[in-house]
Structure 1
Amino acid sequence: MSLTSDPRTAGRGDDRPWQVPSWVDPVVARATGVIGGPLGRYAVVGGRGLAGVAAALTLTGSLVLGLGVWQKGHCLMKGWSTPDQFWRACYSDLPVVHVSSPLAERSLPWAGEGAATGTAPLPGAVMWLLAQVSPRAGDGLAAQQWVFTLWALVSVVLVGLAVLALVSLAPGRPWQAAHLAASPVLALLALVSTDLLGVSLLLLGLWAWHRERSWTAGVLLGLSCLVRPFPVLVLAAIVIVAWRRGRLLPALQTVVGAVLGALLVILPLVTIQPEALSAAQQWWGQPAGYGALQMVPRLVGVTVPTVLTTAVAATGWLLALALGVLLSAPGRPGGGRGVVQLSALMLLVVALTASSLSVQSGLWVLPFLALSALPWSRHLLWALAESLVFLTTWLHIAFASDPGRGLPGDAYALAVVLRAVAWSWVLWEVARVDRTAAQRPVPTATPDRTASPSRSASTTGDTCSSTTSRSDRT
């Protein structure tokens, strides 16, 4: 019998919180073979409600992060040295920047010998805090190990917060949060940089917006923008959707809150060390960087003026905003897109025209996958392309030290193009999916014997009814 006609799901709707993916997703059903297979017909799932789902997914995310630590185990034991860290694909910004910048002396990283001038404000502040907490200072292996370990522990907390936000945002399909917690991309990329902090802040900001807490949403999104500029697109989508639906005031409050949230970090840093804004200053006039389509001409031997690279990237942002306004028009097909779907389309345009799209940028796609109703088969195909770029980027960087072992430019260019195709495909799928599929309210049918106790039905029913009244916000 096919999964789509499973009697456990017949007549109940496909979106009850206790309906686990192994009943409806063929990929998940096959993957559960390692733990005994899909749950049986009479299994009681959801007895602990959404809290149980969040706890299970947080534990899953912790295990995935553990795999990430294992994947970087060589560097953790031997140190992050060049080119060994590239051959072993275990590079991480945190220990490398720590020992090569003033962070080794527990100072802010943007000024002095070995200044980390390309570090964004919030990541730099976080790495400085880790340096203060670490019991070992200096530029030795022990200091690297402590900083990396501390970030791994912080990452567990961040994944837990992200899962809670995702489950609250889509209580009709809480197991969709596994697209973040259980993603192989999380294992590869979460410990490369502090981008997971920005992703978690983005999701908490969306949760606050969904709960009609505009000022809180703005502050959280503003802090997220200090990690990467991608959340600016979410802010833009919030304003566009609110404008189209005649609720512009809450959106403007969110934008003001975002500015205040960003200033809350930037002003103290700039007061102490004006170089903290060096990352924004370096964005202008930089050649195309790793992972970006704009780097492909240089990889195959074609010289592109730096000013043209910057102009294309800036034009991409303007096009993304214009596309958001155009596609949100009520009279157009898909004009009822929510914030997530509109943000996905704008992110696609920015990613394709970016001057740099580092390996850890893939983390920013995970929230869109988790907030959509995409099956795992599509997620894994995208993750395969992301993993390919993860490996080939390090091999291409190491090509300079040993051309016989490294990856030449033309081969790396192919991997970058494949990644761009994968991003285009998966983000377009997110944008075209039914925007209510991930938030469909739970039907109030009489529970059958495959359902959880009555308290689960009442609890989740109340949660989902509140989701219905606010579903237009996401």
Structure 2
Amino acid sequence: MTRPAGSGDLMAEARARALPYLPFALVGALGAVLAYLWKWPCRVGGAWNDGTRQFTHFCYTDIYPLYFDRRLSEGQLPYFADVPFDKHVEYPVVLGWFMQLMSWLVSPIADLTTRAERFYDLTVITLGICLVIGVVLMAALAGRERRWDAALYALAPGVILAGYVNWDLAAGVLSLGALYAWSRQRQWLAGVLLGLAIATKFYPLMFIGALFLLTLRTARWRPFLETMGAAAVAWLAVNLPVMIFAYEGWSRFYVFSSERGADWGSLWFFFQQKGWPFLGDPARLSFLGIASLALLCLGIAVLALMAPTRPRLAQLCFLALASFMLTNKVWSPQFVVWLVPFAVLARPNRRAYALWQAAEIWYFFAIWLYLVGLQPGNEALGITADTYFTAVWARALTIVLMMALVVRDILRPEHDLVRQDGVDDPSGGVFAGAPDRFRGFRLLPATA
């Protein structure tokens, strides 16, 4: 068979483009393997069936128990199953179908325990692939001079410890894919990936605000509207069928999120446990969460529009996502996976990043020891609430520190390590190098 003319050149060009990213794929694979090995004591020792050992071995995961608790082990379809409301999958639809696909693949296995273990294995292998792809995407987003910053994502202690606690790496790769498509001015693809990311986990919704603010500054409306249109179509395409034919199951995520009280990891949980007036009032929780997030977003908007130099997209994405996490009603250990790539892209400062990761390590161990201490008879194995809350605040304050450094970089671009390399915005797409169109006062004099 004759090869089409020019196909060899195209293949050679594709290999030449891909080859520089091979080391990042290998580093990502190393991170994925290390994350799997961290869970190994539970995977082979039966600790997932022991309410204490899975915590004292620090290898808990949601993936194994939810296979049983959400009736996937019985062949029930997510959202469509005839089960009590609280037994429906409490995640957006892409994640629910991801779980179902893994369940179908292991269904021929007769032994229930073996089937559940294979469900976990296939799930984390797929999530590991998501991590590898995410690391490669991040290397591309970081720009030629800072590609190796992607290793800070692949080998982040928080990612290795908590990457397989839940399915968050799936939303992470879709979010990074959307940002990469935007950086290459592929607006329709960016929108589709963003819509799918929001239909996997809700947090990528925060990135729409970052895109909108930079659109206001640059007046690049058509790319923004194309992206939002594609995102809406993609989100509706995967949600509408479930909304129409299984509304109760579909609504479980939204009802659960709205009715959920202050939970482990959140600052609201600390305020409630300590009985603080006003801030610790459970009746005001939803209002306080929404109001505090709105105030932070308003501050980000003022900063984005009035800063002397247009902020980078990754900086605003980081600030928006960090604000969402700080004000959320729950802050699970795996949420670190959300923030790591955007923290690195926004502020590749090793010292601040290392301090935050140290706080994440402390929190990871503290939460499981705290849960052990809540079990009757195991108080000596755990830690007190006060010790646990030092980890809660350490994590929050180190993120606030990184946010402050990003704000400084926006106000004083000469401190921005990315722009010191002579580039404007590696992930900015149509925003990179765009002139300001927004007319308003400036927080500081405009820089050249």
| TM-score bracket for the superposition, by shorter chain length | 0.7 to 0.9
Distance 1:85 1:246 in 2: 52
Amino acid at match of 1:316: S
Per-residue deviation, 1:195: 0.4
* Counterpart pick for 2:121 among 130, 149, 153: 149
Name the residue aligned to 1:200.
173
Name the residue aligned to 2:397.
421
Unaligned runs of 5+ in 1: 1-47, 444-463
Taking only aligned residues, the RMSD between alpha carbons, in angstroms, comes to 2.8
- Contact 2:263/2:329 (<8 A) preserved: yes
Name the residue aligned to 2:71.
102
- Contact 2:206/2:321 (<8 A) preserved: yes
Please give the per-residue CA displacement for 1:116-144, whole angstroms capped at 9, x wherever unaligned: 44333222221111111125568832122
* Counterpart pick for 1:63 among 30, 35, 48: 30
2:139 corresponds to 1:190: no
Name the residue aligned to 2:199.
226
Distance 2:422 2:74 in 1: 55
Per-residue deviation, 1:390: 1.2
Residues 465 and 91 (structure 1 numbering): CA distance in 2 closer, same or farther, change over 3 Å?
A: closer
Amino acid at match of 2:353: H
Distance 1:122 1:242 in 2: 29
* Counterpart pick for 1:87 among 56, 80, 92: 56
Name the residue aligned to 2:221.
248
Please give the per-residue CA displacement for 1:261-297, whole angstroms capped at 9, x wherever unaligned: 2112211223343212211112223211111111102
Residues 436 and 250 (structure 1 numbering): CA distance in 2 closer, same or farther, change over 3 Å?
A: farther
2:224 corresponds to 1:263: no
- Contact 1:215/1:257 (<8 A) preserved: yes
- Look up the SS of the partner of 2:371 in the other structure: helix
Mean Cα displacement is larger for which, 144-153 or 342-351? 342-351
Amino acid at match of 1:416: V
- Look up the SS of the partner of 1:70 in the other structure: helix
Correspondence list, 1:307-322, <5 A: 307-322=283-298
- Contact 2:191/2:226 (<8 A) preserved: yes
Name the residue aligned to 2:3.
none
- Contact 2:184/2:429 (<8 A) preserved: no
Distance 1:416 1:466 in 2: 32
Distance 1:93 1:267 in 2: 27
Amino acid at match of 1:220: L
Please give the per-residue CA displacement for 1:437-459, whole angstroms capped at 9, x wherever unaligned: 4377789xxxxxxxxxxxxxxxx
TM-score (normalised: structure 1): 0.78
- Contact 2:32/2:131 (<8 A) preserved: no
Distance 2:385 2:167 in 1: 28
- Contact 2:60/2:165 (<8 A) preserved: yes
Distance 1:442 1:472 in 2: 12
Residues 368 and 127 (structure 1 numbering): CA distance in 2 closer, same or farther, change over 3 Å?
A: same
Residues 257 and 323 (structure 1 numbering): CA distance in 2 closer, same or farther, change over 3 Å?
A: farther
Distance 1:418 1:467 in 2: 32
Determine what percentage of the aligned residue pairs are the same residue: 25
* Counterpart pick for 1:329 among 270, 285, 305: 305
TM-score (normalised: structure 2): 0.82
2:362 corresponds to 1:388: yes
- Contact 2:31/2:154 (<8 A) preserved: yes
Mean Cα displacement is larger for which, 91-100 or 397-406? 397-406
- Look up the SS of the partner of 1:284 in the other structure: helix
Unaligned runs of 5+ in 2: 1-14, 435-448
Name the residue aligned to 2:439.
none
- Contact 1:161/1:200 (<8 A) preserved: yes
Residues 349 and 357 (structure 1 numbering): CA distance in 2 closer, same or farther, change over 3 Å?
A: same
- Contact 1:208/1:216 (<8 A) preserved: yes
- Indicate the structure with greater helix content: 2
Name the residue aligned to 2:7.
none
Mean Cα displacement is larger for which, 272-281 or 382-391? 272-281
Amino acid at match of 1:361: F
- Contact 2:73/2:116 (<8 A) preserved: no
- Contact 1:134/1:147 (<8 A) preserved: yes
Residues 152 and 285 (structure 1 numbering): CA distance in 2 closer, same or farther, change over 3 Å?
A: closer
Please give the per-residue CA displacement for 1:249-270, whole angstroms capped at 9, x wherever unaligned: 2112222222222112211223
Distance 1:466 1:336 in 2: 13
* Counterpart pick for 2:327 among 353, 357, 362: 353
Distance 1:268 1:194 in 2: 22
Amino acid at match of 1:96: P
Name the residue aligned to 1:452.
none
